[in-house]
Amino acid sequence: MALADRSLRSDARRNREMILDAASELFAVGGDGVQMDDIAARAGLGVGTLYRHFADKQALRAAIIARRFDAVTQLAETASGIEDPLVAFETLLYGYLESAESDAAFRVSILGSETPAWETIAAQKRAFNRVVAAVVERAVRAGVLRDDFTTADFVLITRGAMANMDVDTGWRRFLALQLEGIAAPSR
């Protein structure tokens, strides 16, 4: 492999990260209204460079989500190793939401009106969902969650909590109410 090829790949990687960082900053402040030209300018790159990496805003949102999914999949794997099924579930749930609380761009990407290009991050989504499903199923089998609770319900709860993150501790109250609702009934 030629040295020029390695430099180009290194530059391309650097440019991609600069675009993702700029987009994250701008989405956190401007939400759905952020324009691709503004992202390129914030990154200090030409708009052509941005479009070489990301065909559209949906692809950019997907890449922001992929970065967060990589991090929370590690968290989920750690939680899955906790012996107590309820503690494992709550560790996963709170850890996921606490990481989302500090990442407004992730929340905008997940909750925004534009659908992310999920097909571009299918592997990251599958890896995260696989671990979440294992934690959820174990908690259901142990009788600490309702027997009809599913991974899809985990997604609903986390999205609801994320939607309340800009309200004074609103998401924590929302989550406490939700946890009461999903607990297995006392026998």
The pLDDT assigned to 169 comes to 64
Lowest-pLDDT choice from 74-78, 113-117, 118-122: 113-117
**CATH class of the structural domain 1-54:** mainly alpha
Domain 57-187, what fold? Tetracycline Repressor; domain 2 (1.10.357)
Question: Where are the chain's structural domains?
Answer: 1-54, 57-187
Q: What values do phi and psi take at 114, rounded to 5?
A: -95, 130
Kindly write down the DSSP assignment for every residue of 19-78, as one continuous string.
HHHHHHHHHHHHGGG--HHHHHHHHTS-HHHHHHH-SSHHHHHHHHHHHHHHHHHHHHHH
Q: Do domains 1-54 and 57-187 have the same CATH topology?
A: no
Average pLDDT, the chain: 87
The pLDDT assigned to 106 comes to 85
Q: What is the pTM of this model?
A: 0.77
The pLDDT assigned to 3 comes to 39
